[in-house]
Structure formats: C-alpha cells, structure tokens
C-alpha cells in the first residue's frame, strides 16, 4: 500500500508499536489518502535492524551521530513503508528514503536525492512525499519546510557560472532590497552570502524575510553548497508564524549534509481525474462532457486581447480582432471553435475587467451553437509581466497583496461578470508559472510555489462563493521549466485535482533555426511527461505556434516554406489521430498569431500574416482534409 502523507508526530507517539489514527488537517485532498494506522507505518524498533539500515554518511555530529542513538526508524521504498530492512530491496531503480528517530530529532535521509538533515521533534513534524522528487516537504501547525537537492544546469560547474546561475535564477529578487520593500516585506536579519562558518565544509547563502500579512510570514531561505564544487547544492525554504519557531531553523540548517546518491528519486502524485464542478450550469456541463468525448480538434487564433476599461469602453483592439478573425476564418475555410483573449489584473493602478461586450460579440459559444467558446487567460500582473534580469527597480508583484485581501473587490467583480456572461469559459489562470518571465513565477514569490497555489485557491474560492458556474479551470505550465531546478518544476505549482478540470499545454517552435522541431516531437514529449498523471483529463494547447523566422536572427520570414511544411505535418497527424497516442487527449489548440520582439526587430515571427501564403494554404488544406474525412 502506498503512503503519500505520513504522520511523524512526537517521539512519544513514534515509539508506540501501534500508532493511533490522527485526525487529518482540514482542507481538500487531491485523493483520499491511506490512514496512518495500518501495518505499513509500523516502526522498526529492533536495534539490530536499525544498525543495518544506518550508514555512517547519514550522520550529523550535532543531532544524530550514529545508529546507537536511534530508537525507532521507518524505511520507504518507492513511497511504501517496509516493516523491516532487506538489502535486496535497495536497488538503483527505486526511491529510497529513511526516517530515524531519537528523543530530540528526526533524522531524514533521502538516498535517492543525496542529502540528509535533522528536524527537532518539538516542531511535531509530518512528512509529505507526494512530490518528493521536486521537493521533500515537512510541516505541522508550527512550520513548513521544503528541501531539494539542485544542480546548476545548464551552465558549466565553476565559480563564475555558479554566480551566474544563482543571480539569474535563485536570489535575483530575494536579495534585492527594492523587491522586498516594493512588495510590502522586510528583512528579519541581514543577508548572509558565501558564509563558510555556519556549516563545516559548506558555503551558505541565507535570506531572512518577513512577508508581512501572510499566514506564515517568517521565511528562512538557504542555499547550501559543498566547498570545492560548483554544481550540486541544497535548497531549503522554511516558513512559520512564530519568532520562536524561526530559531529552530538554525538547527535544521546546521544538520544538512550532501551524501552520495543511490536509487532514483520519484514523485507519488495519484492519477488526476476529470472532476466536473457539481455547480456548473447545464451549458458548461455539456461542453465539458463534449471535450472529454470528442475526437476532433477545436481550433482558434489569438491576434489581440479583448481589453475593457472600467468605463466599459472598447479599446483599439476591437477592430483588429474583428478584422483578423474575418481574414483568417476565410483563409482557413474554417471557423474558430475557440476564441482566446488575455487579461491582466491591472495595468499599473488601472484595473482590468472582464470584456463582456467583446466576449459576447466574438465568442458566446457553448460547444454546440456554432459560436467559438471563450478561452480567458487571466494573469496576476500589473506591469505586463515585466520580469527580467535587467529589471531590478520595478519589481513588484500583486501576488502577496492578493493574499492580503487588497484585490478582493475587483476579483469579486470579475467573478460576477464571468457568471453573468453565462456561457462556458476555458479559464486559464497564470499560465507559464514555471518560468522566469512572469509576475507570478517562483522567483517573484520568494522561490515559494505555495504562493502560486494559495493565490489560485484564493480566486477559485471567490468564484465558488460568488456562484460562478461556467468556468473550466486550466492548469498550463510551459513545456520546459525555467529556472532549471527541482523546486520550480511544473508540478510544484499544481493546485490539486479539486481545483483543476483541464490540462493546458504550451510548446513553441521558434522557427529561427533549421531543421525545425516538428509538432509531433514537441507534443510527444509533453504526452510522455503528462500521460500517466493527466491522461484522463481533457488537454488544451492553450497557445502555440511555429515561427517563420525573425529579423533578429536573419532575414524575416526566411523559413516560411518550412513553417508551412510544419503545419501540414501537424494536420496530417491530426487527420490520423487514432494512429498517434500523443494526440489522444488534445481537444483544442490556439495559435498565437503575435510576434515576439527584441528591440525593434522581431525575434520570433508567429503572426499569420497575409503574405505567408503557403502557411495559410497549409491551414486551409489541413482543415479541409481533417473535417472533410469525418
């Protein structure tokens, strides 16, 4: 039996041979979890067995120095507790984790990741192994700790690139006083960098921040690198609400050790199922069921956003959207089934609203009435995601203020407007969160993906309280996570099965370098990554494209012929989708017909401009072939 959430408890409880059931903490769980009172969580108390389990490299002289001090232990193999210890169960293909208990400490060892650390039993620690590969979690009502062992990729492991990696993807903001103050936070103590005195044999960067107004505002963030090497390092994020509990982190920090790895680190998230919201209206229920069952591809094109000011007036995008929709539907010989748009929380202090009039005009579909269904991408940003290494002076994010309640009124108004719209909405919140370029990415939120999850649930609950009955929530990471890390991987941001009804996919082919990576190759990778967990949910390629070649890297549109061939190959696969498992769950796709720019030059040319005649013909022929064969 698998055990994904495991109670550790105080040592007095741990020493009991038959631990009693513990009432779970409130809040929805992704799946019903096994109870911790079964035989699988029986402690190993035989000192001889414990001595066989223990390895000298697990030790820390300040907390748990040897097997003799250990009074009880637990051993997990692939997320399953074993009632005893056998060497033949230790193989290079399994996930290996250990819990060693003394009177004062839990000594945790992840052989598969390659680290060990101790947690004071006074904190009443519990362990969460659901996403252990992307961050081992420990928690109680006193604290929350996430631990990962990271590698400096894709850079060469030397001192120069260590500084590049940390400055680009770890402490770009948490070490920036302007960022801290602009987001209503303050430093608890001064930042420590490259300190070689805290842990013998290690260099430590330590950041102490008070995220004022949050439920657990006191943060300790540590980067722990073994001296003499520049690749492998430990990353610890600890948060709590009590100043007394903050002090306990010093013991945890000093006990951390990098050890030799053995085994293969894994996640243990259960299969995520399609869960229709029981509060959905009839249109939305019917449309979701249609998505689950259909074997055809719904398509749409993004040309510009439907932006509506607080006065309710249209902006200039109205005419562009109308013209582009008319032009492209004529070129395709096929109408849109999905009509996409983007909206920010605000631009500066000017709040955005749901574009009711344009949504009715350009969308208004329910999957059956011949009109496109609205895909509404909503982003928590007030500066158009102006996040970059060069932006060190204007680096505020609304994420913290959302949790502080500052935006409750506009979020409730948004909910009411979407409810009043009535038709199904493919609601995509904060796409590409596993990136380094959005206002809601991990680096902008103290390297703590929980902030993303908390703000997702915050809005979801506002929608539920407002009675929104027409939103299908899409979780949409970018295909390749950046920063390159475990703590910032896509599933670290996943809010859970109770808060998501569809999976969004996004992988672009820039079109600047030949040969182009095919649609099949891009999305086969995403299929292989997601099929086991999300294989029963509907998948929407909420934005994608293949470029024709940008001017920043050569002649603009130089690869138009290759782009057309790319589109033809994509439609050929969809026309024979039964032969390609990677297409099984893809129910819709939205081409992003807008260019990226570097200065005044196009860097990626995705716009389906009128002079891309071969590409437009490839779309026309593809739709004719795919739907003509039904």
pLDDT(19) > 90: no
3-state secondary structure at position 574: helix
The CATH label, of 3.10.20.740, 3.20.20.80, 3.50.50.60, 2.40.50.140, for the domain at 284-628 is 3.20.20.80
Q: 608-615: long-range contacts (C-beta < 8 A, 24 or more apart)?
A: 608/301, 608/328, 608/331, 610/327, 611/557, 612/548, 612/557, 612/560, 612/563, 612/564, 614/560, 614/561, 614/563, 614/564, 615/548, 615/560, 615/563, 615/564, 615/567
Nearest to 293 by CA among 540, 538, 581: 538
List, for residues 273-312, the tens digit of each pLDDT value.
999 999 999 999 999 999 999 999 999 999 999 987 655 5
Mean pLDDT of 588-595: 98
CA dist., res. 564 & res. 57, Å (int) = 57
Q: Where are the domains of the chain?
A: 5-258, 284-628
Nearest to 254 by CA among 230, 238, 269: 238
* Contact between 344 and 398 (Cβ < 8 Å): no
* Contact between 207 and 171 (Cβ < 8 Å): yes
List, for residues 381-418, the tens digit of each pLDDT value.
999 999 999 888 999 999 999 999 999 999 999 999 99
Nearest to 42 by CA among 96, 105, 85: 85
Residues facing residue 39 across a β-bridge: none
pLDDT(213) > 90: yes
Name the fold adopted by 5-258: Protein Transport Mog1p; Chain A (3.40.1000)
Cβ neighbours, 10 Å, residue 298: 22
Percentages helix, strand, coil for the chain (3-state, rounded to 5) are: 30, 25, 45
Mean pLDDT of 176-205: 97
CA dist., res. 303 & res. 325, Å (int) = 8
What distance separates the 2 farthest-apart alpha carbons in the chain?
Answer: 78
pLDDT(371) > 60: yes
List, for residues 121-131, the tens digit of each pLDDT value.
999 999 999 99
Indicate the DSSP class of residue 20.
P
């Amino acid at each position: 039996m698998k055990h994904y959430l495991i109670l550790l408890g105080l040592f007095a409880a741990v020493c009991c041979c038959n631990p009693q059931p513990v009432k779970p903490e409130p809040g929805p769980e992704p799946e019903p979890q096994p109870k911790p009172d079964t035989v699988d969580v029986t402690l190993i108390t035989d000192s001889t067995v414990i001595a066989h389990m223990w390895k000298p490299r697990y030790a820390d002289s300040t907390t748990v120095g040897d097997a003799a001090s250990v009074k009880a232990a637990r051993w997990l193999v692939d997320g399953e507790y074993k009632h005893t210890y056998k060497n033949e169960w230790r193989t290079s293909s399994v996930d290996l984790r250990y819990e060693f208990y003394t009177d004062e400490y839990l000594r945790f060892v992840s052989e598969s990741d390659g680290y060990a650390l101790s947690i004071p039993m006074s904190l009443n620690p519990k362990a969460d192994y659901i996403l252990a590969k992307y961050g081992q979690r420990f928690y109680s009502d006193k604290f929350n700790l996430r631990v990962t062992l990271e590698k400096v990729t894709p850079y060469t492991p030397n001192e120069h690139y260590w500084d590049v990696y940390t400055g680009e993807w770890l402490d770009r903001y948490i070490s920036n006083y302007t960022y801290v103050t602009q987001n209503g936070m303050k430093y608890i103590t001064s930042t420590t960098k490259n300190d070689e005195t805290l842990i013998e044999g290690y260099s430590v960067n330590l950041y102490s921040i008070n995220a004022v107004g949050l439920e657990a505002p006191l943060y300790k963030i540590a980067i722990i690198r073994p001296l003499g090497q520049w690749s492998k390092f430990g990353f610890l994020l600890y948060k709590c609400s009590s100043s007394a509990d903050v002090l306990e982190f010093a013991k945890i920090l000093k006990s951390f050790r990098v050890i030799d790895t053995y085994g293969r680190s894994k996640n243990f998230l259960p299969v995520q199922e399609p869960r229709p919201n029981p509060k959905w209206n009839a249109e939305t229920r019917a449309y979701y069921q249609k998505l689950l069952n259909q074997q055809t591809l719904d398509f749409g094109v993004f040309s510009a956003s439907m932006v509506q000011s607080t006065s309710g007036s249209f902006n200039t995008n109205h005419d562009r959207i109308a013209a582009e929709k008319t032009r492209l539907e004529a070129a395709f010989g096929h109408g849109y089934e999905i009509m996409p748009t983007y909206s920010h929380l605000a631009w500066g202090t000017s709040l955005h609203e749901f574009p009711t009039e344009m949504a009715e005009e350009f969308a208004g579909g329910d999957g059956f009435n011949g009109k496109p269904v609205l895909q509404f991408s909503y982003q928590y940003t007030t500066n158009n995601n102006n996040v970059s290494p060069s932006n060190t002076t204007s680096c505020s994010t609304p994420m913290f203020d959302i949790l502080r309640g500052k935006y409750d009124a506009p979020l409730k108004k948004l909910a009411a407007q979407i409810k009043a719209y009535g038709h199904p909405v493919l609601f995509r919140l904060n796409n590409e969160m596993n990136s380094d370029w959005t206002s809601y990415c991990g680096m902008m939120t103290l390297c703590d993906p929980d902030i993303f999850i908390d703000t997702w649930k915050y809005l979801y609950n506002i929608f539920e309280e407002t009675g929104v009955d027409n939103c299908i929530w899409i979780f949409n990471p970018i295909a390749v996570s950046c920063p390159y890390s475990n703590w910032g991987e896509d599933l670290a941001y996943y809010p859970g099965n109770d808060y998501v009804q569809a999976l969004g996919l996004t992988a672009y082919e820039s079109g600047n370098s030949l040969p182009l990576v095919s649609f099949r190759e891009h999305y086969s990778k995403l299929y292989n990554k997601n099929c086991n967990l999300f294989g029963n949910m509907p998948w929407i390629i909420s934005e994608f494209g293949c470029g024709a070649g940008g001017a920043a890297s050569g002649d603009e549109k130089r690869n138009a012929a290759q782009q057309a061939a790319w589109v033809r190959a994509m439609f050929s696969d969809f026309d024979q989708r039964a032969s390609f498992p990677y297409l099984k769950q893809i129910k819709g796709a939205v081409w992003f017909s807008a260019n990226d720019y570097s200065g005044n030059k196009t860097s990626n040319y995705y716009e389906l401009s009128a002079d891309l005649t071969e590409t437009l013909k490839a779309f026309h022929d593809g739709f004719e072939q795919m739907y003509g064969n039904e």
